[in-house]
Amino acid sequence: MPAAYSTQAQMAESLLAFWVDAGVDAMLLDDPVDRIAAGRVLPPQRVAAPVVAAPVRTASRQPDISDAVANAHALASAAQNLEALVAAIATFDGCPLRFDGAASQAVIYRGNISAPLMVIGEAPGADEDALGQPFVGRAGKLLDRMLAAAGLDERVLITNTVFWRPPGNRTPTYAEQEVCAPFVERMIALVRPRMLLLAGGAPTKALLKVEDGILSLRGRWIDWTSADGSMTLPALPTLHPAFLLRQPAAKKHAWSDLLALTERLDRPVGPL
């Protein structure tokens, strides 16, 4: 032990301080832990609702999220406007992220509430968690610059597949996205955008129920249909801005996606 450290505790303290300085803010295992599957007991739900079958994406064993999904449906469908939806999400305790990763607040949406375009990202990160708004960190600033350059900055509402920060910024699990999905769908129904931009692989898989990677799906229009079949909208998967920060050479693909989207948004609607 170096002379500067008189106790093991001091050594540990110094190491922790080093990690904190280096930006480490969570201790993680190599693989994500699905706490619903692990039998975590969630706090009691606030609204009693009938149990509905949870959507099944693969044949593999899924945790039972039917109560939480049913509760989310009940809360979401009762919300008659965005303000009520925000209040409903804030009371929802069926998503474990609310207790595992997030600081204190739900991160729900920002932007124009009558936007013709909704951008759906993956999940809030540390900056979003601190400020309570989606896409306000480095990736968000890049997204804003790209939207502004495409003339879309006043024409978007931005949200995520889940409303609480996953610990250590891991990708949200299928179950976490499914319990938040009724709120995302209700947001789409209330905002009534004409199209969706899906930023990254996570929202693309969650909303479109596809398994292909984002690099093969980006730039391809795919219809999104709501769970009850009542709404269908064109959706365009694109690269996540955080990926673009790591791979600047890929920006040209995201830019061409945004141009295609703007062209479609500005195209006259209905028969010519």
User: Residue 121 or residue 182: which is nearer to ligand URA going by CB?
Assistant: 121
Q: Does 178 help bind ligand URA (rule: CB under 6 A)?
A: no
Q: At a CB cut-off of 8 Å and minimum separation 6, what does 172 contact?
A: 97, 122, 123, 161, 162, 166, 202
Binding range to ligand URA, per CB under 6 A, among 2-10, 127-135, 172-180, 258-266: 127-135
Binding range to ligand URA, per CB under 6 A, among 31-39, 82-90, 129-137, 149-157: 129-137
Do the bridges between strand 232-238 and strand 195-199 make them parallel or antiparallel, or are there none, so unpaired?
A: parallel
Q: Does 109 help bind ligand URA (rule: CB under 6 A)?
A: no
Residues between 150 and 169 that touch ligand URA (CB under 6 A): 160
> Considering CB under 6 A, how many residues would be counted as binding ligand URA?
13
CB of 269: closest distance to ligand URA in angstroms? 29
Q: Does 123 help bind ligand URA (rule: CB under 6 A)?
A: yes
Judge whether 162 and 205 are in contact, CB under 8 Å.
no
* Closest CA relative to residue 34, chosen from 56, 65, 57, 68: 65
Strand ordering across the sheet containing 195-199: 110-111, 156-160, 117-121, 195-199, 232-238, 222-225
Q: Does 101 help bind ligand URA (rule: CB under 6 A)?
A: no
* Closest CA relative to residue 244, chosen from 199, 197, 196: 199
Q: Nearest to ligand URA by Cβ — which residue? A: 121
Q: Both tokens of residue 42?
A: 């969630």
Q: Of 125, 182, 193, 237, which lies in the binding site for ligand URA, with binding defined by CB under 6 A?
A: 125
User: Residue 186 or residue 240: which is nearer to ligand URA going by CB?
Assistant: 240
Residue 38: burial class (beta carbons within 10 Å; 0-12, 13-18, 19+): exposed
CB of 191: closest distance to ligand URA in angstroms? 17
For residue 233, CA distances in Å to 1, 80, 160, 183, 266 come to: 63, 21, 17, 17, 15
Q: Of 67, 128, 178, 185, which lies in the binding site for ligand URA, with binding defined by CB under 6 A?
A: 128
Q: Does 124 help bind ligand URA (rule: CB under 6 A)?
A: yes
Binding site for ligand URA (CB under 6 A): 121-125, 128, 134-135, 137, 139-140, 160, 242
